Structure 1
Amino acid sequence: MATFIRRMAIGYAFLALFLSSDTGFLLGVDSFGINYGQVADNLPPPEKVVELLTSSKITKARIYDTNPQVLSAFANSNIELIVTVENQILNQVDDPQEALQWVNSRIKPFVPQTKITEIHVGNEVFTDDDPTLIQYLVPAVVNIHNAISQLGINTNILVTTPSSQAVLDQSYPPSNGSFKSEISEIMTQFLNFLSSTKSPFWINAYPFFAYKDEPSQIPLEYVLFNPSPGMVDPVTNLHYDNMLYAMVDAVVFAIQKLGFDGIEVKVSETGWPSKGDSDETGATAQNAATYNGNLLRRQIAKEGTPLRPKMSLEVYLFALFNEDLKPGPTSERNYGLFQPDERMVYDVGLSNSKSSASSVTSGSSDPSVSLNSSARKGAENDYKSLICWVLGYLLTSTLWGRVN
């Protein structure tokens, strides 16, 4: 009887501690990261960025170069970092000696203090405006990979490249996913490298663009992860309740059609702008807060896609900051969760101790604030329910054991 009472006391003490503690919204979420772009002239120094990420419980970040100031600032931070070989130097690292020199000067001085986990060789090379870049991609990827081994650097650093959704010729329904025929030969070479090195295929996937182009044809609830009828793939009978997962599975099917299976597909960029031009339908703070808040909640649940439900989908949100020097439409400068002064553009429940959301979504009357408070509370309640279920199960098992 004493043993039983002690077990009960410990269980309820743990439950009380969990329910009363201010656990970080992203605590323990190892499938979520964020893109730290720097196309701006007003961003905080990298040291402050590390503090911001740490206070927000974000443990993974991706940058678009190998800025030594950033790499130094992230040293001993315990934040995993993905770095990038810029598109404009792919024709240089196409040479093995140049690749060796690049790794020796750009990577080796910073590891292992800085936790560099991957090197992305270029960004959206398969669909770049300069079609000549594609010929350098596979040799550059192989050379960077070999240079890491040759220099004796942590061999756990993976080498790959992110692609845009434009690499697909067909994507709807997901089972119809296939790569464009003009890139199939080089894509096959690239996939062969990924398969042999157990590296992931990264995709930049933006449901926002699909909705902006056809707002009358695509339900907003479907692209925002809100409850909706969704769609059923007529070939697989898999049900999709959001567009992002359908986009990812279309890529999985495209990879399989080239003869590869088992390559993990991850999302290197996704997000929603809080502001846009008059023709950018859906670019609002409320929609951005809803999309990103719902995405984070699914990350907490460690969801997989319908095609790979047991494989938690890794996602890097775009972006950390609004970047004032980015060219293009207004939306391009308004993807950030934070303003350059570190105020939240809107609150998606990140455990940030800085100031509250900025004037874009300030005030309790703003629907984006209440939406994300609900998303955060819902996610926390999911975990609390799980803990209660586990404790209840243990209690029932204990009592049943005593009866029998």
Structure 2
Amino acid sequence: MRISRLFLFRFSLWLLLFFTPKVKAFTGTYGINYGRIADNIPTPDKVVTLLRASKIKNVRIYDADHSVLNAFSGTGLELVVGLPNGFVKEMSTNADHALTWVKENVQAFPKTNIVGIAIGNEILGGSDVDLWAALLGAAKNIYNATKELQLKGVQITTAHSQAVFADSYPPSSCIFKEGVDQYMKPLLEFFSQIGSPFCLNAYPFLAYMGSPDTIDINYALFQSTDGIDDKKSKLHYDNMLDAQVDAAYYALEDAGFKKMEVIITETGWASRGDDNEAAATVDNARTYNFNLRKRLAKKKGTPLRPKMVLKVYVFAVFNENSKPGPTSERNFGLFKADGSISYDIGYSGLKSSSAPSTVLSLKV
């Protein structure tokens, strides 16, 4: 019996996917996003000094800027690079361009510890349906390029906003939004095959800002509170971030992906805002980020997935003065533009600060 070449190709690809070991792209529980939409922040080599002094090993950037990749070379820092949204359609339709992109931005930096490639950011929560349709193809072509180039240990992911959910309160009610689900499920199937997690950008700050009259700010800030009880699951939540993570787990379970891990790729709290952003204060930002570090140091899971240790990338290293939007968008940094701390949660920064120092021994 003759076997077609197409069948052999598909069978070989299936074997490759089936026997691909799960790639680990995160050490410990704590990481940070290194955004650079600013004209006054330190150079990448100084940022490396800052991150190493702060003992932050997991870092995400939103592109593959070569000055950053060179600065991270030989440092041991674990870096996730980003394929910007503007490249996704091209990478989806042209496998050769995907191969070239990976050659130029990953393979060309063998001493830089690139552990992941994020395909776009918050695409399925946006309004460009053509981009939705291109996401899976881009992810596959970039993944295939890493395999062809024999780049081991590079995890392929994409980060989602909470806009992909139809409803996330209470957590047990969460499912993927109609219209999004037809693009999400094939993507999840592929990620399940290659061992990638579900990446979520989750902001209790934004949720509280949207409903300050109905949400207890202490619940959003990991402070002492009565919390909420999910009557269907009979689980209790004493902080909003855990509830947001479990909502994602419920949506994944509903879609047929109960075993997929959820990683928080962005969370944070603004330290300054406009007049209508009263919750954006230094005290609240300090409280959120300090308590987040304490929660992650416990190396525990969520009420629904107690054995799945939560991993988080906080947003962000710096206040970014060139970001558009409300004032809060430019004030999520743990550090100011000059490298000094925005507020004290145990980091010292590149320069001395007038803020008193707090000694922390949180191993995250």
1:26-175 matches, within 5 Å, as 30-94=28-92, 95-111=94-110, 113-154=111-152, 156-175=153-172
> Which residue does 1:274 correspond to in 2?
271
The offset of 1:289, in angstroms, is 0.1
Cα distance in 1 for partners of 2:125, 2:103 equals 29
Alignment deviations for residues 281-306 of structure 1 (CA, whole Å, 9 cap, x no partner): 31000000000000001111112111
Residue 357 of structure 1, CA deviation = 4.0
Count matched residues.
337
- Assess if the C-alpha contact under 8 Å between 1:29 and 1:299 holds in 2: no
- Superposed CA deviations along residues 60-118 of structure 1, whole A, max 9, x for unmatched, are 1100000011011101111100110000011110121111111111111112x111111
Cα 1:225–1:356, aligned 2, differ >3 Å: closer, same or farther?
A: farther
Aligned to 2:293: 296
The aligned amino acid for 2:131 is: L
TM-score under structure 1 length normalisation = 0.81
Instruction: After TM superposition, give the deviation of residue 30 of structure 1 in Å.
Output: 1.2
Percent of pairs with identical residues:
45
Question: 2:341 touches 2:349 (CA, 8 Å); kept in 1?
Answer: no
Q: CA deviation at 1:29?
A: 7.2
Asked if structure 1 preserves the Cα contact closer than 8 Å seen for 2:124 and 2:160, the reply is: yes
Note the alpha carbon deviations across 1:299-324, whole angstroms, 9 max, x for none: 11112111111111110000000000
1:324 aligns to what? 321
Counterpart secondary structure, 1:120: strand
Q: Does 1:311 align with 2:308?
A: yes
Q: How does 1:114-263 map to 2 (within 5 A)?
A: 114-154=112-152, 156-263=153-260
Instruction: Sort the Cα spacing of 1:105 and 1:149 in 2 relative to 1 into closer, same or farther, 3 A.
Output: same
Contact 2:125 2:162 in 1 (8 A): no
Tell me how far apart the structure 2 counterparts of residues 240 and 357 of structure 1 sit (CA, whole Å): 36
Q: Report the residue type matching 1:152 in the other structure.
A: Q
Q: Pick which of 123-132 and 69-78 moved more.
A: 123-132
- Tell me which structure has the larger Cα radius of gyration: 1
Distance (whole Å) between structure 2 residues aligned to residue 207 and residue 292 of structure 1: 12
Q: Encode CA deviations 1:192-216: one digit per residue, 9 max, x unaligned.
A: 0111011011000001111111111
Matched-pair contact (CA < 8 Å) for 1:82–1:117:
yes
Distance (Å, rounded) in 1 between the aligned partners of 2:44 and 2:267 = 23
Aligned partner of residue 161 in structure 1, secondary structure: strand
Give the gaps of 5 or more residues in structure 2: 1-25
Q: Which moved more, 1:28-37 or 1:178-187?
A: 28-37
**Where do 4+ consecutive residues of structure 1 move more than 6 Å?**
none
Counterpart in 2 of 1:339?
336
Letter in 1 for 2:172: S
Residue by residue over 1:116-137, the C-alpha shift from the partner in whole angstroms, topping out at 9 and shown as x without a partner, is 1110000000022433211100
* TM-score, normalised via structure 2 length: 0.90
Q: Distance in 2 between matches of 1:213 and 1:281?
A: 12
Give the Cα separation in 2 of the matches to 1:258 and 1:29. 28
Q: Is the 8 A contact 1:201 1:265 kept in 2?
A: yes
Letter of the aligned partner of 2:135 in structure 1? L
Whole-Å separation in 2 of the counterparts to 1:335 and 1:129 = 25
- Is the contact made by 2:265 and 2:312 (CA closer than 8 Å) also made in structure 1? yes
| 2:246–2:302 contact (8 Å) kept in structure 1 | yes
Partner of 1:393: none
Q: Give 3-state SS (helix, strand or coil) of 2:304's partner.
A: coil
> Cα deviations across residues 321-377 of structure 1 (Å, max 9, x unaligned)?
000000000000000010111110101112x3643446xxx4x6xxxx8xxx4xx65
Give the aligned residue type for 2:136: V
Is contact 2:27–2:58 with CA below 8 Å preserved after alignment?
no
Structure 1 residues not aligned, in runs of 5+: 1-27, 384-404
Q: Residue 248 of structure 2 aligns to a residue in which SS?
A: helix
Contact 1:195 1:263 in 2 (8 A): yes
**Take 2:96 and 2:271, find their aligned partners in 1: how far apart are those partners?**
44
Q: State the alpha-carbon separation in 2 of the partners of residues 324 and 134 from structure 1.
A: 30
